[in-house]
Structure 1
Amino acid sequence: MKHPDDSGIAHGGPAQSPATTPAPPPAVVSFAGLELPAEVLRTLDGLGMREPFPIQAATLPDALKGRDVLGRGRTGSGKTLAFGLPLLTRTAGRRAEPKQPLALILVPTRELAQQVTEALAPYAEALRLRMAAVVGGMSIGRQIAALRQGAEVVVATPGRLHDLIERNACRLGRVKITVLDEADQMCDLGFLPQVVDVLDQVRPDGQRMLFSATLDRDVDQLVRRYLHDPVVHSVDPSAGTVTTMEHHVLVVHGPDRYAVTTEIAARDGRVLLFLDTKHAVDQLTRHLRASGVHAGALHSGKSQPQRTRTLAQFKNGQITVLVATNVAARGLHVDDLDLVVNVDPPTDPKDYVHRAGRTARAGESGCVVTLVLAGQRRETSRMMAEAGIEPTVTKVRSGEAALSRITGAKAPSGTPLDGGPAVPRPKNTNTPFRGLGTSKDTSRGAGGKSRKAGEARKLAEARKAALVRRNG
């Protein structure tokens, strides 16, 4: 538990801020030792939660007193209850007017909004508080209706909240408690102007809490402008340095990368595959399903109902492979997810930290694998060093024992899940690699050359025949 400048946070901590107060070590050993309502304690007990996680033990006493809090804990460390329980406790007993919530939780993604809402719902219900989720991709009419009926607590993404404010469907003047979850990502994604606009509208004398797995300089301007004498808590190592997490870099031969990815996806147990683009995600997902692997795609091009359904199927085991862009790098909690694979290596150390944080959650073990080509090794090594990671580096080929030992990889069944012809198992050939899921169409290329050769041959024969005719 340290000031951000001496907490060892990778990627550069906030500049020294005179308005921050380092916090003393937590002394809380149980939820019962906190000033929580009896209804909340009964709910916690009913859910089997008796001892707070370190980030909760550190922040709850200050947050329950109404202090501004700047908290950093690794993903999966329990940040949602760390800000959610005091927010609900301090809002209990008050009633919201139509369109005028009393507490606001701002998050960067729809998935995180949904997860936060679900996690806090039992406690809100116990305290008779109404919650509303306000996110893009869902019916804005229903969200307007929920706000009109009155919701004490709103969980929102910045874009949709901005739209509702513009329509005069939501007014923030009575919001007394404001939480920014994954504050650094909201800055990274370009939400900073909307976040500033929101913080300018909530009550200036209210409580503000900023939580994230990383607190870097992007967040510092928000801290300086909007938090009043905040208590700073940094209790866990970042996701990249969790001791229960293994990190591997697998150096693959270019033409073999698709086969390696397919065999990893065919393993027993769930796996999360990260790629850079929506197109690559869709392409790999189609290939995996045609190879007999139960895979689903998740990216921002999918509708919210599609994204929600795919996540539910991944969590309940209907699909065992989630192929995703960085939209799944935050806010995704899946129990017993022990393998994350960067098919496309991230270039930003923060992206690595948050992708990695999908596994080894809440003290469990996990493995993070990054596939690199020989030409990517230097850049990937630099990125991982900045993230504080020292991975085990191994050269692998598809079908090798080392690949199976590290990832559990095995050959796919080859039986298509959606009909159509079976896809032949990717082979380790010397065909030039042209991107995941694509290959140079050698048959077309050869065919083109053959046609040109044939045409040249026919032209030569015609000229020869004409010459013979002229010469009698």
Structure 2
Amino acid sequence: MSPSHPTSAGFAELGVPSALVAVLAANGITAPFPIQHATLPDSLAGRDVLGRGRTGSGKTYAFALPVLARLASNSKPRRPKSPRALILAPTRELASQIETALAPLAQALSLRTLTVFGGVGANPQITGLRAGVDVLVACPGRLEDLISSGHADLSQVEITVLDEADHMADLGFLPSVRRLLDRTPASGQRMLFSATLDAGVDVLVKRYLTNPITHSVDSAQSPVSQMSHHVLHLAAADDRLPVLVELTAAPGRTLVFTRTKHGAKKLTRQLIASGVPAVELHGNLSQNARTRNLEAFSDGSTHTLVATDIAARGIHVDDVNLVVHADPPIEHKAYLHRSGRTARAGAGGTVITLMTDDQVADVRDLTRRAAISPTITRLRPGHPLLAELAPGERAFVTPPAGSSTTEPVARGRASGRGSGGRGKPAGTGSGGRNAGQGASGRGSVGRPASGRASSGRGSAAKSGTPIHTSESRPAGTRTTGAAAFSASARPRGRRTGF
């Protein structure tokens, strides 16, 4: 059995309260994933826990369930400004999705939750803290601001959780994390979850966890059998955009990664100008824009998201069946975490890296350190392999004449992909058992109610999706809904090796 698959034992047998089991069952989640099965007995017993597992292995429920269960068993009254449990997350998106997973569970136990992070007004967060909360989900920077201004106090925290601790280290948050942990009682329970245990994370474990029980399940270095890796060696650098257009114009949800914020913005504009509705996610966007664009991608109204590495850890969206590294990442950890956006919760997925001639040595080293053996193909736009990797009828949208750069786009498609999806085993749509449990732990988060319907991308994009008309459509595309690239019009590629 794949380590991503749920185990046979139920949550109730592990000691999860019946009220929480009922909420899980209502969301189609009846069996824990290995990281949950391994850690729940110890975390529910109040032990300090170090859980190591790849993003998408189900870590959110692994700490959310014991946090809520233990707080509910000890009915201390809420105190203004003083949360009883603290969950630290590295990004706003991850903090929001943890809150989304927590909310229905906490409601079942009459517990109150609150999320605080930067980029939005602090007054609602201050008001929420003043009213008293049981579980505070926070990004380190904003929480430190609230503490220094006297609006938050961690002296009553009974349970502390660090989620994605290695990403905290990568982003330079460890000094802030240490200052926050120093404000929590040393006698409290502490849990740390991470995909890897690098030097910075190991320091946190040794300093703040007391005799921790370590559970390592499905680590970031573990192979995912359902994930296929391809390197597309572009015959010319100018082929990058046409190849991306052909991949993203196919039915299904696609996540494209760029190395820089400017690159994400530019590529999003180019895809839209080429007839592919897309949204961007990077640090230069306001929080409202980031939330709006992520919601558009999560609810299926836009099927292409162009993102920087900020999204590699912070996005937990089900049914991402294709991840494209438009810019190969520099570090192998970034490759693994980017790629981890697909093949989640036991589903299948495809990972594609675009490579130019001058990137061959770097990509060879990247894949070696990531311990993967990709299929390498030298090709140009129109190569038949592109239709294999991203099957389905291509469709393009022509922006209406005179439209502004912020008008929404509607996308029609004559036919699309059934529930099996791109590289995804049949029966893994949202109706299946434990659908979408993943890292965010919510079957309803980031997934249309019926999975990927046969109608494909038939819905309109959310308001605020930009349209850019200043760039021309790449050669080789058509402007009709039934458009397709002509494989016979371009040279066929060849399989190569490093």
TM-score by length of 1: 0.82
Instruction: Kindly indicate whether the alpha-carbon contact (under 8 Å) linking 1:240 and 1:356 is maintained by their aligned counterparts in 2.
Output: no
Matches within 5 A, 1:183-194: 183-194=165-176
Mapped pair 1:129 → 2:107: no
Task: Please list the CA deviations of residues 318-349 of structure 1 after superposition, one character each: whole Å capped at 9, or x if unmatched.
Answer: 11110111111013122211000000000111
Instruction: Kindly indicate whether the alpha-carbon contact (under 8 Å) linking 1:131 and 1:151 is maintained by their aligned counterparts in 2.
Output: yes
- Corresponding residue of 2:307: 324
**Selected match of 2:184 from 202, 216, 222:** 202
Separation in structure 2 between the aligned mates of residue 63 and residue 326 of structure 1, nearest angstrom: 31
TM-aligned CA deviation for residue 365 of structure 1: 0.3
- Corresponding residue of 1:286: 269
- Corresponding residue of 1:439: none
Paired letter, 1:223: V
Matches within 5 A, 1:7-406: 29-92=9-72, 93-238=75-220, 241-252=223-234, 253-406=236-389
TM-aligned CA deviation for residue 238 of structure 1: 2.4
Instruction: Kindly indicate whether the alpha-carbon contact (under 8 Å) linking 1:182 and 1:211 is maintained by their aligned counterparts in 2.
Output: yes
Task: Please give the secondary structure, in 1, of the residue aligned with 2:320.
Answer: coil
Paired letter, 1:342: H
Paired letter, 2:228: E
Paired letter, 1:425: R
Say if 1:422 and 1:240 are closer, same or farther in 2 by CA, change over 3 A.
farther
Paired letter, 1:398: P
Separation in structure 1 between the aligned mates of residue 66 and residue 266 of structure 2, nearest angstrom: 44
Task: Please give the secondary structure, in 1, of the residue aligned with 2:90.
Answer: coil
Mapped pair 1:425 → 2:405: no
Paired residue total: 403
Task: Please list the CA deviations of residues 435-472 of structure 1 after superposition, one character each: whole Å capped at 9, or x if unmatched.
Answer: xxxxxxxxxxxxxxxxxxxxxxxxxxxxxxxxxxxxxx
Task: Please list the CA deviations of residues 13-32 of structure 1 after superposition, one character each: whole Å capped at 9, or x if unmatched.
Answer: xxxxxxxxxxxxx9981112
Task: Please list the CA deviations of residues 263-318 of structure 1 after superposition, one character each: whole Å capped at 9, or x if unmatched.
Answer: 21211111000001111111111121122211001111111111111111111111
TM-aligned CA deviation for residue 45 of structure 1: 2.0
TM-aligned CA deviation for residue 72 of structure 1: 1.2
Counting aligned pairs with the same residue, the percent is: 51
- Corresponding residue of 1:451: none
TM-aligned CA deviation for residue 237 of structure 1: 4.2
Paired letter, 1:89: A
Task: Please give the secondary structure, in 2, of the residue aligned with 1:338.
Answer: strand
Task: Please give the secondary structure, in 2, of the residue aligned with 1:233.
Answer: strand
- Structure number with higher helix proportion: 1
Task: Please list the CA deviations of residues 49-83 of structure 1 after superposition, one character each: whole Å capped at 9, or x if unmatched.
Answer: 22111000000000001111111122111100001
Instruction: Let me know the Cα RMSD of the aligned residues.
Output: 1.9
Separation in structure 1 between the aligned mates of residue 260 and residue 79 of structure 2, nearest angstrom: 43
Task: Please list the CA deviations of residues 167-202 of structure 1 after superposition, one character each: whole Å capped at 9, or x if unmatched.
Answer: 110010111110000000101101011000011010
Could you say which structure has the larger radius of gyration? 1
TM-aligned CA deviation for residue 236 of structure 1: 1.3
Paired letter, 2:134: E
Paired letter, 1:180: L
Instruction: Kindly indicate whether the alpha-carbon contact (under 8 Å) linking 2:118 and 2:139 is maintained by their aligned counterparts in 1.
Output: yes
Separation in structure 2 between the aligned mates of residue 178 and residue 122 of structure 1, nearest angstrom: 20
Say if 1:169 and 1:28 are closer, same or farther in 2 by CA, change over 3 A.
farther
Paired letter, 2:47: R
Instruction: Kindly indicate whether the alpha-carbon contact (under 8 Å) linking 2:275 and 2:473 is maintained by their aligned counterparts in 1.
Output: no
